[in-house]
Structure 1
Amino acid sequence: MFLFTPKSKAYDDEALESYLIRIVNENFFDSYQQLSRAIKDELRELDFEAYGAFPLDLKLLNIYHAKQDSHFRMRAFELLESLLNLPKFELQKLAIFRSYKKINSQSTVNWKGIDFPLSFVRYEGASPYSIPICPECLRDEPYIRQVWHFKHYQACDKHNHNLVEKCPSCNLCINYIANESITHCSCGFELTNTKPFKAPEFKALLSSSMRGKTLDSSNPILNDTPLYQKLSAIAWFQKRYFELDSFDNESIINYFEKWPKNFYQELDEIAKDAELKLIDTFNKTSFTFIFGNLIFSSNLLSEGRSRGHFVWTTVENYLLDLVSKNPKSQKTNIADSLINIAEASAILSTSYEQVYRLYESGTLKAAFRPKIKQKLTTNEGVFFLRQVVELKKSFGDHYSGVYLSKW
């Protein structure tokens, strides 16, 4: 099988699907399916496992779409690189991979070392999302920028114009993957002729921040806060206040502009009204009943990486202050509310297993005596908030996550 090597290498910020479309065009195929069938015929002879993993449909090409055996697809990419005489990993460096990490309990994908919630990607599987474009960028260089695939990226940070979602000629959603054309709509309209419109400042600011640019700002979404923290904070914000598919960039910017004062005020209002909604005394009431899933949802990333995250640090500081302002007395108060093992694990920056050991050693005492041979469940309020927070303070940050060995 002979294929022409593309005249230009892949751009560093190019979408994988965009590069494959350029390869299709330069090799005079009518469609991606023609190329993919030719590649599969070659794979059948050379690597049968990779043959089965290589998709015929362009919308399923990217590695994160592979439900399993993604390494077979990577092997197929390696063969394609050799057929095109491309440098090693030229295709893989453009790919979006599935990640084992979670952001706010959401599945994630990884692009160039950064984890994104999967829900942030504009085109997932067969979902009919528009993939908007910047006509000026296409005039500069006709290829699709990967950031256009991400929902939070709504304005071009280079030209400060809104991304164009619909064709001005036929009003259909622009989707270069479905259309297999980078510069033209399915109706034939040349997208580089689209008149751009200036983007509102909040859209341009967020797009710029998501590209890794920073501002001298107190807003953690715009300043030099690490990108993974910005993305997980946006995921946390959406889950707490909006539907997951809602990307209101103005609300995101405005909310974090007042951070953390606005969040502390919100929590203070909840705490102030807590006694009015009590069914039982505080020491028989779960923390979750009062504050909802505050602790666990704010513990944003798996594997303890949330330690140091500005949202989680804010929650930690609030809990320390809440216990400090509500000292133990004859009458129970909000610091005597009950937290479960998962919440204790988050506060102590340790594993569930370590929390069980702390309980078994008597370091943590249950608020009630469990039945004989009954194991504590992870979602039942069992420890006093006060006790866990004070234990956290006694160990200090330097010893977080290290408590007791199992022998």
Structure 2
Amino acid sequence: MNLLNRKFLISPSPKTEETIDSYLSRVLQCNGYKKISYIKQYKAEKFEYIPMFNQDKLLKLTDLLSEKKIKELFLSEEIISLCMNNAFVGKYGLLINSIRVCPQCLKEGPYHRKIWGLIGYTTCHIHNYLMLSHCICGKKIRSLSTELLFCKCGRDYRLMNIIYVKQKMENHNTYLYSRMMDRKNNDAKTTLLCSLTVDAAIEIVLRFSKCILDLNKVKTNSWVFLKDTLLLHKLLEEVYGYFTNWPRNFHKLLKKLDDGMFNNTLIYLMNELNRDQFMILSHEIACYIKMKNTHNLPDVVEHKNDFTELLKKTLFLMEIKTSYD
């Protein structure tokens, strides 16, 4: 019997789609501990610096659960780990050490769901309530706590004011849940996103959302993504819609991002998306720029195998711009 098993005599069963942080929090609570330091003592490094989706080593070192239960707890963790390995998603797409909650879900089951740790998941796909990231006192809701249902100020998260968000039946939150948790990938209306890996799809939606914020002079540091959930929800809902009805709606997005004759934002995106899995997107952007520069921009751009030549012309335009600056 190892150290952690001696400390924790009661080992509750993991709940459906429960985060590892939530499970460890319930272990502490069931055993009467009031501080998370009892888990910190078991690790060489401080626990708060361990990402919420990257704690499998901690749990697998213990005898708290059978191998079967551990596998249940880590269901879908490999997908979330894939997202963590994406630099852009790691920076802008995941909540670290904090979490958003749905008060109604907490009433129905007092634990944190894995999908709640995605920054892009802004409304509950079950209840359509806006996800809450802070207590009314201003403190962030922590992913690891001996009191999952209560803030340090004493307020009950289940009783916080809820905001119902009216939205389409198919939206970015139902899409994220189906890709991350149900492992489904059959949304006919988002064929472009469904052709990508889950981390690439999340990156695309967040990256274009960030560009829209940049154009509107909104700084895209952490407070935008973490605190103003309603702003982020409206933005992601808009961007998600641009990837339906491909490529017609996508060209509406490109037109929105088009910032003048030198296409700065579009060229930036084309360069950032210069990866094999994003070639269809970068090619579409290149075709849009070409049609625009030849004053022949239809609603839907025809695909032509002239990406290399177009990129040369684009770089030439960039050189001209530099000479004027």
Alignment TM class, shorter chain as reference: 0.5 to 0.7
Distance 1:60 1:139, change over 3 A: same
Alignment of 1:384-399 (within 5 A): none
Confirm whether residue 236 of structure 1 aligns to residue 207 of structure 2.
yes
Q: Give unpaired runs (5+ residues) of structure 2.
A: 180-184, 214-218, 226-231, 243-248, 297-309, 321-325
Aligned partners of 1:63, 1:159: CA distance in 2, in Å?
24
Against the structure 1 CA distance between its residues 142 and 336, is the aligned structure 2 distance closer, same or farther, given a 3 Å change threshold?
Answer: closer
Please give the alpha-carbon distance, in whole angstroms, between the structure 2 residues aligned to 1:85 and 1:252: 38
Q: Which amino acid aligns with 1:60?
A: Y
Once residues 217 and 181 of structure 1 are traced to their aligned partners in structure 2, the CA distance between those partners, rounded to angstroms, is 41
State the shift of 1:74 in Å. 5.4
8 Å contact kept, 2:36–2:146: yes
State the alpha-carbon separation in 2 of the partners of residues 187 and 171 from structure 1: 7
- Cα 1:56/1:26, change in 2 over 3 Å: farther
2:1 matches 1:6: no
Matched AA of 1:318: Y
1:103-182 matches, within 5 Å, as: 107-108=87-88, 116-123=89-96, 131-167=99-135, 171-177=137-143, 179-182=145-148
Q: 156, 159, 163: which is aligned to 1:193?
A: 159
Conservation of the 8 A alpha-carbon contact between 2:121 and 2:176: yes
Task: Kindly indicate whether residue 285 of structure 2 is the aligned counterpart of residue 315 of structure 1.
Answer: yes
Structure 1 gaps of 5+ residues are 41-51, 66-72, 109-115, 275-289, 327-333, 344-378, 382-407
Per-residue CA shift, 1:46-93, capped at 9, x if unaligned? Answer: xxxxxx3xx343x2233777xxxxxxx75544212x3x1332754665
Residues 1:26 and 1:123: Cα distance change in structure 2 (over 3 Å): same
Matched, 1:60 2:49: yes
Counterpart mapping for 1:249-264 below 5 A? 249-255=233-239, 257=241, 259-263=249-253
> Normalization by structure 2: what TM-score?
0.65
Tell me how far apart the structure 2 counterparts of residues 193 and 300 of structure 1 sit (CA, whole Å): 43
One-letter amino acid matched to 1:164: L
Q: 2:33 aligns with which of 16, 26, 29?
A: 29
Say whether the 8 Å CA contact 2:103–2:158 is kept in structure 1.
yes
Answer whether contact 2:36 2:145 (CA < 8 A) is retained.
Answer: no
Residue 21 of structure 1 deviates from its aligned partner by 0.5
In the other structure, the counterpart of 1:358 is none
- Of 191, 199, 205, the residue aligned with 2:171 is 205
Match of 2:302 in 1: none
Q: 1:137 Cα shift?
A: 0.8
Shift of 1:158: 0.6
- Provide the residue aligned with 1:298 in structure 2: 270
Structure scoring higher RCO (CA < 8 A, sep ≥ 6) equals 2
Residue type of the alignment partner of 1:61: I
Equivalence for 2:61: 79
Q: Deviations over 1:123-171 (max 9, x none)?
A: 36xxxx6x3311211121111112222222221111111223443xx53
What displacement does 1:196 show?
A: 2.9
SS at match of 1:201: coil
Alpha-carbon distance in 1 for matches of 2:238, 2:162: 25
Which entry has the higher C-alpha Rg, 1 or 2? 1
- The structural deviation recorded for 1:121 is 2.0
Counterpart amino acid of 1:185? C
Contact 1:203-1:250 at 8 Å conserved across structures: no
Q: Give the equivalent residue in structure 2 for 1:70.
A: none
SS at match of 2:61: helix
Percent identity of the aligned residues? 15
Q: What is the total number of aligned residue pairs between the two structures?
A: 273
Q: Give secondary structure in 1 for the equivalent of 2:38.
A: helix
Question: How far apart, CA to CA, are the structure 1 residues paired with 2:275 and 2:252?
Answer: 28
